[in-house]
Amino acid sequence: MSELDLDALIDDPAIRIVVTCGSGGVGKTTTAAALGLRAAERGRKVVVLTIDPARRLAQSLGLTELDNTPRAVAGVGGDGRLDAMMLDMKRTFDEVVLAHATPEKAEQILANPFYLALSSSFAGTQEYMAMEKLGQLHKQAVASGDWDLIIVDTPPSRSALDFLDAPERLASLLEGRFLRLLLAPAKGPFRLMSTAVNMAMSVMNKILGAQVLTDVQTFVAAFDTLFGGFRKRADKTVALLREPQTAFLVVAAPQNDALREASYFTERLRQENMPLAGVVLNRVTNSEATELSAERSLAAAEKLEEADKSPLTAALLRLHADKMQQVVADHKRADRFKRGHRSIPTVEVAALADDVHDLAGLRLIGDLLTA
């Protein structure tokens, strides 16, 4: 079992991308923001890409404008810089279309009902767009030298794995026969298609209605030239994630489901040859008075209550007993996780009483992450 040294990680100039991932509600975004601030104040030029930050956290980073571009965070000390942005998935998608299609085609795509549904309300697009944005930021960082460290928060997916699977899914989709099939009528004679394909087309027509199929076909035909670029960029981003300049941080809280998700994720990263830096065990309950156990604290409280003495002390002892129960439970689960993953560096972060809502709070988290 080794300690995860996050200062060494963010100080390492060879590390250019840090990805925080984990299940929802474990403090992923806060961890990403706190590391970004700490890295900046230690001299790195950092951009943090957040997906869905808590309002107060967003305010603490000055993320009030939703213009889909990184903005400088005010109040950062040291020689580095910190920029932050919040992902706007529809806008990112639109920008890709505008950047890579002819104006006429772009207009066609942006107005297509199928595209509108795909880019704004359908699930899964957020993952594609997070990857797309990461690719863009990386390109900009390399070209302009504006940043030497990109910290990416991952979308609050139904599963942490969606983020990894999105580009692969896109790639396999683009190679799929169905897409070619949808394009075929626009391109070549129908009679060349196999019986199965013909049957499939007629079924699609029947089920979806002619209008939907036409919308999809128009969309796909207009989008055809863009698909190649999508594929290439998705492949590139996946390759980027496998490079040694990337470090994945899996964030978990000491609850069974979050730890289970974290185990699953670390295993998956290993299979994918993606560089896992370690696991952040967040929000672990701690006490400065562990010598007074839950049992003894509770017994002492009961003794006072029976003797009808100092109800205030009794209440504080009961509070401490509750806390110690939590301390024991959290450490038991955290230790079990560490024993099960001996080769993975981990760091425990103590739970805070208050939500983070300013840079001072983020600095404190940064201290705890590297204590």
Rounded CA-CA distance 365/188 in Å is 60
Nearer to other proteins, 1 or 173 (CB): 173
Nearer to other proteins, 141 or 317 (CB): 317
Q: How far is CA 30 from the centre of its chain?
A: 11
Shortest distance in whole angstroms from residue 80 CB to other proteins: 28
Rounded CA-CA distance 320/316 in Å is 6
Shortest distance in whole angstroms from residue 354 CB to other proteins: 6
Task: Pull the structure tokens for residue 157.
Answer: 């997916």
Shortest distance in whole angstroms from residue 279 CB to other proteins: 17
Query: What's the full length of the chain, in residues?
Result: 371
Rounded CA-CA distance 193/110 in Å is 30
Task: Pull the structure tokens for residue 39.
Answer: 């890295």
Angle between helices 28-41 and 359-369 (to 10 degrees): 90
Shortest distance in whole angstroms from residue 44 CB to other proteins: 27
Shortest distance in whole angstroms from residue 245 CB to other proteins: 29
Return phi, psi of residue 125, to 5°. Answer: -65, -35
Shortest distance in whole angstroms from residue 15 CB to other proteins: 28
Rounded CA-CA distance 209/231 in Å is 29
Nearer to other proteins, 121 or 144 (CB): 121
Shortest distance in whole angstroms from residue 262 CB to other proteins: 13
For 154, which DSSP code?
P
Shortest distance in whole angstroms from residue 175 CB to other proteins: 9
Nearer to other proteins, 140 or 286 (CB): 286
Which parts of 61-124 fold into alpha helices (H)? 89-100, 103-111, 113-120
Which run of H or of E encompasses 72?
Answer: strand 71-72
Q: At CA 22, angle to CA 20 and CA 25, rounded to 5?
A: 110
Nearer to other proteins, 26 or 39 (CB): 26
Q: At CA 321, angle to CA 320 and CA 326, rounded to 5?
A: 95
Identify the CA nearest to 252 among candidates 160, 325, 328: 160
What amino acid is encoded at 360 in this protein? A
Nearer to other proteins, 149 or 251 (CB): 251
Nearer to other proteins, 104 or 288 (CB): 288
Shortest distance in whole angstroms from residue 11 CB to other proteins: 30
Q: How far apart are the first and last CA of the chain?
A: 17
Nearer to other proteins, 204 or 240 (CB): 204
Nearer to other proteins, 94 or 215 (CB): 215
Residues whose CB is less than 8 angstroms from the CB of residue 206 and which lie 6 or more positions away in sequence, other chains included: none
Shortest distance in whole angstroms from residue 278 CB to other proteins: 21
Rounded CA-CA distance 198/194 in Å is 6
Number of H helices, E strands in the chain: 15, 8
Nearer to other proteins, 246 or 297 (CB): 297
3-state secondary structure 162-197: HHHHHHHHHHHHHHCHHHHHHHHHHHCCHHHCCHHH
